[in-house]
Amino acid sequence: MRAALAALLVVVAGLWACATPVNVHFDASKPHHRADGFRNLEHFEHERFSEFLRWKWQQWRTGGPPAAKAPTPMVQPDLEFIGRNGQAGVAMEPAATWIGHSTVLVQFGGINLLTDPMFSERPMPVDIGVGPARTQPPGVPLARLPHIDLVVISHNHYDHLDEKSVLALNAQPGGPPQFVVPLGLKRWFNGVGITRVVELDWWQSHMLPGASGPVEVVLTHVKHWSARSVRDGRMQSLWGGYAIFAPDFHFYYAGDTGYSGDFKRTREYFRKRQGEQGFDFAAIPIGAYEPRWFMRQQHVNPEEAVFIHRDVAARASLGVHWGTFLLADEAHDQPPQDLAAARQQHGIKENEFFVLAVGETRRLPRRTAPATAR
State pLDDT tens for residues 179-233: 999 999 999 999 999 999 999 999 999 999 999 899 999 999 999 999 886 566 6
Helix or strand run (H / E) with residue 111: strand 111-115
CATH of the domain at 349: 3.60.15.10
Res 122 pLDDT > 70: yes
Decide if 371 is inside a domain: no
Q: Are strands 215-220 and 205-208 parallel, antiparallel or unpaired?
A: antiparallel
Q: Are strands 197-200 and 178-182 parallel, antiparallel or unpaired?
A: parallel
Decide if 372 is inside a domain: no
Q: How confident is the model at residue 126 (pLDDT cuts 50, 70, 90)?
A: confident
pLDDT on residue 328: 92
pTM of the predicted model as reported, rounded to 2 decimal places: 0.91
Decide if 350 is inside a domain: yes
Residue 95, CB-side half-sphere exposure with 13 Å CA sphere:
22
Average confidence (pLDDT) over 326-350: 95
Decide if 369 is inside a domain: no
Q: Which amino acid would we find at residue 235?
A: M
Q: How confident is the model at residue 125 (pLDDT cuts 50, 70, 90)?
A: confident
Neighbour tally for 351: CB within 10 Å: 9
Q: How confident is the model at residue 128 (pLDDT cuts 50, 70, 90)?
A: low
Residue 26, CB-side half-sphere exposure with 13 Å CA sphere:
11
SS3 283: strand
- Percent helix / strand / coil, the chain, rounded to 5: 25, 20, 55
CB 359 within 8 A of CB 77: yes
Decide if 287 is inside a domain: yes
State pLDDT tens for residues 61-77: 777 788 889 999 999 99
pLDDT on residue 373: 41
State pLDDT tens for residues 141-172: 999 999 999 999 999 999 999 999 999 999 99
pLDDT on residue 58: 78
Strand partners of residue 150: 113, 178
Decide if 280 is inside a domain: yes
Q: Which domain holds residue 116?
A: 2-363
Q: CA-to-CA distance for 103 and 92, rounded, in angstroms?
A: 20
Of the candidates 250, 260, 292, 4, which has an alpha carbon nearest to the alpha carbon of residue 127? 4
Q: How does 244-261 read in b/e, with b if 16+ C-beta sit within 10 Å?
A: bbbbbbbbbbbbbbbbbe
CB 35 within 8 A of CB 20: no
Decide if 41 is inside a domain: yes
Q: How confident is the model at residue 278 (pLDDT cuts 50, 70, 90)?
A: very high
Number of domains within the chain: 1
Greater model confidence, 296 or 222: 222
